[in-house]
Amino acid sequence: MKVLVPIKRVADANVKVRVKSDNTGMDLNNVKMAVNPFCEIAIEEALRLREAGKAEEVVAVSVGPEVCKEQLRTCLALGADRAILVECDSDLPPLAIAKILKAVYDKEQPGLVLLGKQSIDGDNGQTGQMLAALANLPQGTFASELSVEGDKVTVVREIDGGLQTLSLTVPAVITTDLRLNEPRYASLPNIMKAKKKPMDTLTLEELGVSAGSSVETLSVEPPAERKAGIIVENVEELVDKLRNEAKVIS
């Protein structure tokens, strides 16, 4: 079975990003970029399936400019067998990304598509579900446990009321949650080996997909600064401040 893992290039989770002065977006100049953390979990799970003999090949794919090759090389260093970059310089919404991934899916015909449940920049959490709908595939979202037996995939997913267990028939789309696994680090020998692993570059024209978007970002603003809290001496002082300052009780 082949496992296709879409990944996204995002600002490193440990870096504090700033809004551009004209509020058109985030200022990513000289900002360290990385693989989206949820995508790292998807790559790790795909590698574990291969190591367990449940999968034969792990293919990482990304949609974006040429600089995304850096993150794809990271996936190859972690253990992915090959990578695909779909070159596109536009900032696309989830539906457009899902349409591109559907074209890649049709080309690769994987048994599983594993992707992070959301990216830490857009935070939409929609691409996996849209891809499953476009490809008419069963889906298991927010997976915290995953097991494969033959052509059946068992997914334990996190929901508001607790846990839900699904049984899916491959091919299927699965989005990964935080508690699914702990991603590994790339070793130096594997980083060197990654330079020799194959990486294909495709264009939207080759895939027969349009990059048109119906979504336009009007402005981006930082969250309002929160006032510092205070420590009260007793309950009476707390009630007084809630009544007279915050005015949340009468």
Please write the tens of the pLDDT for every residue from 103-144.
999 999 999 999 999 999 888 999 999 999 999 999 999 999
What pLDDT was estimated at residue 17?
87
User: Domain range spanning residue 141?
Assistant: 2-244
184 in a structural domain:
yes
114 phi/psi in degrees, rounded to 5: -110, 125
131 in a structural domain:
yes
Burial class (CB in 10 A: 0-12, 13-18, 19+), 185: exposed
**In the predicted model, is pLDDT for residue 250 greater than 80?**
no
Output the domain CATH number for residue 118.
3.40.50.620
Which two tokens mark 20? Answer: 């551009």
206 in a structural domain:
yes
Mean pLDDT of the chain: 92
Burial class (CB in 10 A: 0-12, 13-18, 19+), 19: middle
| Cβ pair 43, 174 in contact under 8 A | no
CA atoms 15, 131, 5, 117: torsion sign: positive
**In the predicted model, is pLDDT for residue 214 greater than 80?**
no
157 in a structural domain:
yes
250 in a structural domain:
no
**In the predicted model, is pLDDT for residue 40 greater than 80?**
yes
**In the predicted model, is pLDDT for residue 53 greater than 80?**
yes
249 in a structural domain:
no
Residue closest to 9 by CA, chosen among 120, 175, 150: 120
111 in a structural domain:
yes
14 in a structural domain:
yes
- Compute CA distances 229 → 51, 92, 236, 238, whole Å: 50, 40, 17, 12
What pLDDT was estimated at residue 247?
84
- What is the arithmetic mean of pLDDT over 85-114? 93
What pLDDT was estimated at residue 216?
81
**In the predicted model, is pLDDT for residue 249 greater than 90?**
no
Tally of structural domains, the chain: 1
**In the predicted model, is pLDDT for residue 172 greater than 80?**
yes
